[in-house]
Amino acid sequence: MINRQHVKHHFSRAASTYDEAAVIQRQVAKDMAERTLLLKSSKENVLELGCGTGLLTEQLCQHYPDAKITAVDLSAQMLLQSKLRLATKSAKWRFWSVPRLPVEWVQADAYSLPFADASFDMLVSNFMLQWCEDLDKVFTEMRRVIRPGGALMFSTFGPDTLKELRQAWLSVEGESAHRRFNDFIDMHDIGDALIRNGFGQPVMDVDLLQLVYDKPINVLKDLKLLGATNAAATESQSSGLLGRKTLSKVLAAYEAETSHLGQVAASFEVVQGHAWAVQEIMKGPNRDKSGVVNITLDELAVELKNRRNQGGESSL
């Protein structure tokens, strides 16, 4: 189980070093901001969840200079870094006479947002969902604050992320090594959770990216810089006793499995997607929470026959 306080602590501690290792996060933030331009929805009020150091916030400000942007993070230290980034950029924007309304920064948990219902036209989130174990809870809260017809766009990491490191630990510690890793959620489970909680037409894609390192230890160093360490419910679950001898075995196993031309690889399964807040959560017989109607073929035939008898048109 992911401990929210551990997540907050780890990212607060890494706030000043995060950008040094955020290669994938930076590129996906740029891609996501450009993708939002394709969404045919209002963007007057935009909410970003898990803003971190402001990589995506900066992009949103450039693309939507007249929008009201609210940036939320669990960590006050991350929010501070985001403010510093935008302060530097704002000076340049003023020089070029680019209009920019102030960003509102809010420290809050994605499970319990301090906003009124239907407050935002669009919600974006770059690599936050992997730290939210209860997808139903976080998607319910997201749906609550998005207006009907508004858009959700997100990215997260999938199950094949850091598969080389995971395999190295398993080869040394066996099944007990699982305590050292968070479980990343499969893309299909994310889609199901979206539909259960008031979102429609989910579209997702996945890319497997690889970063190359000179040594396996540098993979671990980058994870530390990012604050991306295990956030299990208790410290004993997340770490266990890690001696220098055990770590040496893991690094040797990592290098033996992935080394090529003196380099090692670290894989990251990047899941990106978007969905729409359904206009209305329909109620009635055979309808689930998303408003989907479960109907048999026989019932469909009767319905179509009734419409023809009434002189109406049918369309599927």
Lowest mean pLDDT among 117-131, 215-229, 247-261: 247-261
The DSSP 8-state label assigned to residue 286 in this structure reads T
State how far the Cα of 174 lies from the Cα of 278, in Å rounded to an integer. Answer: 45
Spatial separation of the C-alpha atoms in residues 69 and 89, rounded to whole Å = 15
pLDDT recorded at residue 216: 93
Whether residue 193 contacts residue 135, with contact meaning beta carbons closer than 8 Å, is answered with yes
pLDDT higher than threshold 50 for residue 315: no
The structure tokens listed for 195 are: 């539909």
Most confident of 207-221, 223-237, 297-311: 207-221
At 310 the pLDDT is 63
3-class secondary-structure state, position 89: helix
What's the average model confidence in pLDDT over 21-25? 97
Which of 149, 157, 153, 150 lies closest to 132, judged by CA? 157
Q: What is the mean pLDDT of the chain?
A: 85
**Stretch 44-65: mean pLDDT:** 96
For the beta carbon of residue 279, count every other beta carbon within 10 angstroms. Answer: 11
**Mean per-residue pLDDT for 159-168?**
93
Match 């894989």 to its residue by tokens: 267
Instruction: Inform me whether the pLDDT recorded for 297 exceeds 50.
Output: yes
Question: What local confidence, expressed as pLDDT, does residue 290 receive?
Answer: 42
CB 136 within 8 A of CB 196: yes
Mean of pLDDT values over 138-162: 97
The sign one gets for the Cα dihedral 123, 157, 200, 290 is negative
Nearest CA-CA partner of 257 in 209, 206, 219: 219
Residues 6+ apart with CB under 8 A from 223: 21, 229
The answer on pLDDT for 231 being more than 70 is no
pLDDT at 307: 57
Q: Which domains does the chain have, with CATH numbers?
A: 4-161+184-214+269-281 (3.40.50.150), 284-316 (no CATH)
Name the strand (E) or helix (H) holding 154.
Answer: strand 146-157
Letter for the amino acid at 277?
A: A
Q: Which range, 92-101, 290-299, 301-310, is most confident? A: 301-310
Residue 84 has pLDDT above 60, yes or no: yes
Give the per-residue pLDDT at 203. Answer: 95
The share of the chain scoring above pLDDT 70, in percent, equals 80
Q: State the sign of the Cα–Cα–Cα–Cα dihedral 246, 247, 248, 253.
A: positive
| pLDDT band (50, 70, 90) for residue 19 | very high
Confidence of residue 148 (pLDDT cuts 50, 70, 90): very high
Looking at residue 259, its pLDDT comes to: 74
For residue 124, the SS3 value is strand
Over residues 226-237, the mean pLDDT reads 63
* Cα–Cα dist 149/158, whole Å: 27
Other Cβ atoms less than 10 A from the Cβ of 253: the count is: 19
